[in-house]
Amino acid sequence: MSKIAKTLSDKIKVGVSTGELDRASRALFLYYKVEPAFLGHQGFPASICTSVNQMVVHGVPSPYQLKDGDVLSVDLGLKYRDYYLDMAFSRIVGDKKLANPQAEKLVKAARKALELAVKAAKPGVALGDIGFLVEDYVKKQGFNVVRNLCGHGIGKELHEDPQILNYGNPGEGEALKEGMVICFEPMITMGDWHIQKSADGFGYETKDGSLAVHFEQTIAITKKGSQILTKL
């Protein structure tokens, strides 16, 4: 998984279309003899999600050619021997000076929020503790977490219980247990957190048109804490 993500990340350049990234991902899935988890899932027509600028998640790859300053989030999942993995990362394309002045801070905030969640995850910790930690950090950076999308359990299905919110109250919610495999995925916006379906019926974008980013890792809860299974 990490090798596929790294290869795709290296291909993100000005002038490359999101459709080209999807075609590259299909070749990589085939090369590593794994199945793309998203292709055909609830009718999704591509192997990866490519969400640009105000698109939060589930952006459909297209002929759109990436431009200097675009903010791109890539979400990819795979299936191997009946088990799933899921991960996502965000990048500023090309010349960062041509991006929104706050874009780099937004990307760093989402990445750090994910790191905080992973570090805090261990048996006995409530999901509300994790959600509170993520939202508290993101708000202190001046941004918002998307409240109507969430992380999830993962295993023999792409999306399993429990739902893992990026907000919450300390001590509330299900407690993490040794042996759980889950996906933390902070989705944060530069403006308001409200979202809407995109015109194609697959993507979710910010209602106010503000930039959004998305990071995700699949982790296993062990006796000693968390183990990242999809590290980029």
Tokens of 142: 């001046």
126-150 as b/e, with b when 16 or more CB fall inside 10 Å? bbbbbbbbbbebbeebebbbbeebb
Tokens of 150: 């969430």
pLDDT at 74: 98
DSSP 42: G
pLDDT at 121: 98
pLDDT at 169: 97
pLDDT at 232: 75
pLDDT at 231: 83
- Cα(65)–Cα(63) distance, integer angstroms: 6
- Cα(210)–Cα(120) distance, integer angstroms: 29
27-84 pLDDT tens trace = 999 999 999 999 999 999 999 999 999 999 999 999 999 999 999 999 999 999 999 9
Domain extent, residue 85, equals: 2-228
Give 10-residue mean pLDDT values along the chain (232 residues).
94 98 98 98 97 98 98 98 98 97 98 98 98 98 97 98 97 97 98 97 98 98 96 79
User: Is the alpha carbon torsion for 143, 11, 93, 65 positive or negative?
Assistant: negative
Q: What are phi and psi of 132, to 5 degrees?
A: -60, -45
- Cα(29)–Cα(98) distance, integer angstroms: 33
pLDDT at 143: 98
pLDDT at 115: 98
Please report, for the domain that includes residue 24, its CATH number: 3.90.230.10
Q: How many domains does the chain have?
A: 1
